[in-house]
Amino acid sequence: MAKPHNLLVIMSDEHNRKLLGAAGHPVVRTPNLDALAGRGTRFDAAYTPSPICVPARGAFHTGQPVHRSRCWDNAIAYDGAMPGWPQALRARGHHTASIGKLHYQGHAGQDYGFAETILPMQITGGTGDVTMLIRDPDDVRETAARKLLAQAGPGESEYTLYDRRVAAAAQVWLRESARKHRDRPWVLFVSMVAPHFPLTAPPEHYYRYAGAALPRPKLWDAPEEERLPHPWLRGYGRRSDHRRHFRDEADLQRALAGYHGLVSFMDENVGKILSALDEAGLSAGTRVVYTSDHGDNLGARGLWGKCTMYEESAGIPMIMAGPDVPRGGRCATPVTLCDLSATILDAVGAGDAAAELGLPGASLLDLAGRPTQDRAALSELHTYCPDGVFMLRTPRHKYVHYVGAAPQLFDLDADPEELRDLAADPAHAALLRELEARLRAMLDPEAVDAAAKAAQARMIAQHGGDAAIRARERMAYTPPPVAA
């Protein structure tokens, strides 16, 4: 059992884990995250429980995968009913505080377990993006797709201004509030939105990349059948609609520079928070975790945003540093944000609460510095396209199960870029059956898919029916809270 210490969890939004200096990216500058990785351990096989915001964050809070938390999409959000790590820590006398994006329902009277909730960003109007309840591949999200490119460039957006407020509030909390809670270790959860679009980056960061030779997105120039070899992916590509709006190389460079700039902007804010932790004299007694809710396709295969099970979208950065964490370490054991939930409890001396809550996760403190474990990371998606998708990642392979369609299988040791789908190869038939059986031992994909669709049908009825929802504008992103 780990010695109890304070814990600072920093979460970004939509950070493609390849865009990290410590991960070997040739261009992006992330000196603060690189330094954190240098004095800690990087988890190379970390994944989101769902490659979209609301379900991923519901799973993180509860420590339960999406099929248990039932936060299915960006309109069916966490409501506080299922207890998570904040409620468990409160019951044991630990102080917990959140600063920034939560993406829960946000209704008055809902109890999320935090002693302090500062600058919370919840789903819009307590209902979120109800248009995502419509799972029709012909329901093209043209407005959101057009805005992604139109807003790419130098400047400030409501998101960058919000992140500045979140980082400032975190610095104040560490300098003024942390010392008030010395009886038991505290947990501070700081949640920023960069590098999530809009791809408007502060000029000092944007222009660092605007004229640089940025890595070209994988398969950007390939024909659709090569870029998107699976029918589910082609359906997602048509509905998300991003590729069609890029007219030339200048558009591509502008979007890439915006995203790279936002990664560096986010890293700058991480540095400010970590400096405040150090200057407040708290570093020696505080563990730090950095992660993101999900990744971003970033143009790979012509896709932007998230919602696929490819590494760019489902993979997330995960770094842990501090007391008892190996320095400069690498861990190849597959983990998810559900494991981070178990880690939070373990890190402050409340590891017994994981069993009490029935959490399936393992503490990262038990995995760091040890040989790779034969674990399977699970991710699910229940929105955008007609049927559900489930991913299972073992130390070597990735199995993607599409309800009602053929699966995908990748050998990530031999093919880390996921260019060769092995699912139809007879030589891998036994492995395919083994991985499907492993998934079915966790859940029944068809039953879970049906449960998600039933919940979405009930929500559609509550909001006036299919036609009323289709008449709404497709949201590009959730607006942050207005500055006081």
pLDDT, tens only, 311-357: 999 999 999 999 999 999 999 999 999 999 999 999 999 999 999 99
The backbone torsions φ and ψ at residue 174, rounded to the nearest 5 degrees and listed phi first, read -65, -35
What's the pLDDT at 1? Answer: 67
CA distance 101 to 196: 12
What's the pLDDT at 483? Answer: 65
User: Is 221 inside a domain boundary?
Assistant: yes
- Expressed as residue numbers, the domain containing 425 is 6-470
Centre a 10 Å sphere on the Cβ of residue 388 and count the other Cβ atoms it contains: 25
Count structural domains, the chain: 1
CA distance 328 to 203: 32
User: Is 44 inside a domain boundary?
Assistant: yes
Residues 117, 449 contacting (CB under 8 angstroms):
no
Residues 388, 448 contacting (CB under 8 angstroms):
yes
User: Is 482 inside a domain boundary?
Assistant: no
Burial class of residue 34, CB neighbours in 10 A (0-12, 13-18, 19+): middle
What's the pLDDT at 77? Answer: 98
User: Is 476 inside a domain boundary?
Assistant: no
**Structure tokens given for 243:** 């590729």
Among 351, 228, 340, CA closest to 288: 340
User: Is 1 inside a domain boundary?
Assistant: no
CA distance 335 to 393: 9
* 98 half-sphere exposure, CB direction, 13 A CA radius: 21
What's the pLDDT at 392? Answer: 98
DSSP of 183-243, one letter per residue? SS--EEEEEEEEESSS-EE-HHHHHHHHTS-PPPPTTTTS-HHHHS-SHHHHHHHHHH--G
Q: Which residues contact residue 151 at a Cβ distance below 8 angstroms, ignoring those fewer than 6 apart?
A: 157, 197, 198, 199, 200
**Structure tokens given for 139:** 């329901």
Contacts of 462-465 spanning 24+ positions with Cβ under 8 A: 463/127, 463/130, 463/133
Among 483, 29, 13, 101, CA closest to 268: 29
User: Is 481 inside a domain boundary?
Assistant: no
Which H or E run includes 121? strand 116-121
Burial class of residue 96, CB neighbours in 10 A (0-12, 13-18, 19+): buried
What pairing do the DSSP bridges indicate for beta strands 187-195 and 200-201? unpaired
The CA distances from residue 473 to 131, 436, 462, in Å, are 8, 38, 18
Domain CATH for 293 = 3.40.720.10
What confidence tens digit (pLDDT) does each residue in 2-58 have? Answer: 899 999 999 999 999 999 999 999 999 999 999 999 999 999 999 999 999 999 999
What pairing do the DSSP bridges indicate for beta strands 200-201 and 397-402? unpaired
Residues 17, 196 contacting (CB under 8 angstroms):
no
User: Is 370 inside a domain boundary?
Assistant: yes
Q: Which residues contact residue 103 at a Cβ distance below 8 angstroms, ignoring those fewer than 6 apart?
A: 53, 54, 57, 77, 78, 121, 122, 123, 478
The backbone torsions φ and ψ at residue 397, rounded to the nearest 5 degrees and listed phi first, read -115, 160
Residues 40, 370 contacting (CB under 8 angstroms):
no
Among 303, 122, 150, CA closest to 230: 303
Q: What amino acid occupies position 154?
A: P
User: Is 480 inside a domain boundary?
Assistant: no
pLDDT tens per residue, the chain (484 residues)? 689 999 999 999 999 999 999 999 999 999 999 999 999 999 999 999 999 999 999 999 999 999 999 999 999 999 999 999 999 999 999 999 999 999 999 999 999 999 999 999 999 999 999 999 999 988 998 888 899 999 999 999 999 999 999 999 999 999 999 999 999 999 999 999 999 999 999 999 999 999 999 999 999 999 999 999 999 999 999 999 999 999 999 999 999 999 999 999 999 999 999 999 999 999 999 999 999 999 999 999 999 999 999 999 999 999 999 999 999 999 999 999 999 999 999 999 999 999 999 999 999 999 999 999 999 999 999 998 899 999 999 999 999 999 999 999 999 999 999 999 999 999 999 999 999 999 999 999 999 999 999 999 999 999 999 999 999 888 889 999 986 5
